[in-house]
């Protein structure tokens, strides 16, 4: 019996280190799984933050476009004469169509210097106030107006409003262009 007991003791001494090695390997595998899960979560948070920034930028640009329409509506006709974009001091009230070419490729610093600020945005929501530029597009005859009726205005003036907004950071930009018809 003593030889059997001796053999069991020898086998037990050999197996003591194996359980430690197996448990360390399992711990390493679990750590690697946890790290990859954390990296995936961090990437998803960044993506959702970028989507939020882009949404804020779009909403800011849309607010500026609506504010620009309200601004055009509130101006008297004598004030709404198009000026050359190169000769007026920014922000110009109204510029001729295509005075500012390549607006889509301009960075936000150009918009800050050239565009009219829309200041009705709540503070702290976006990185900078959205901007808009109003261009005189064209004058069109109203096809539904009764030309024999002197009280019915026969023309509509179209204005192109281009607005740009930024999100929570200056890197998220969105641009909107609308046409606004004003009965003069």
pLDDT band at 12 (very low <50, low <70, confident <90, very high): low
**Full-model pTM:** 0.70
pLDDT band at 87 (very low <50, low <70, confident <90, very high): low
pLDDT given at position 121: 80
State the average pLDDT over residues 80-95.
60
Task: Dump pLDDT digits (tens) for 131-169.
Answer: 998 888 888 876 666 656 666 666 788 888 999 999 988
What is the pLDDT of the chain when averaged over all its residues?
81
State the average pLDDT over residues 39-62.
92
State the average pLDDT over residues 14-18.
66
pLDDT given at position 166: 92
| Percent of the chain with pLDDT strictly greater than 90 | 29
pLDDT at 180 over 60: yes
Task: Report d(CA 60, CA 13) in Å as an integer.
Answer: 72
pLDDT given at position 155: 76
pLDDT given at position 165: 92
Better pLDDT: 116 or 82: 116
């Amino acid at each position: 019996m003593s030889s059997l007991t001796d053999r069991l003791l020898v086998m037990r001494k050999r197996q003591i280190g194996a359980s430690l090695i197996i448990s360390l390997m399992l711990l390493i595998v679990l750590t690697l799984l946890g790290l990859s899960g954390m990296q995936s979560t961090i990437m998803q948070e960044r993506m959702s933050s970028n989507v939020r920034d882009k949404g804020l930028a779009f909403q800011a640009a849309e607010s500026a476009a609506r504010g620009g329409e309200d601004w055009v509506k509130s101006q008297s006709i004598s004030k709404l004469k198009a000026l050359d974009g190169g000769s007026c001091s920014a922000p110009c009230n109204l510029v001729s169509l295509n005075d500012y070419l390549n607006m889509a490729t301009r960075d936000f610093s150009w918009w800050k210097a050239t565009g009219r600020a829309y200041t009705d945005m709540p503070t702290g929501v976006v990185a900078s106030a959205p901007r808009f530029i109003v261009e005189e597009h064209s004058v069109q005859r109203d096809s539904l107006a009764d030309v024999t009726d002197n009280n019915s205005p026969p023309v509509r003036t179209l204005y192109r409003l281009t607005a740009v907004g930024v999100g929570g950071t200056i890197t998220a930009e969105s641009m909107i262009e609308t046409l606004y018809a004003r009965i003069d």
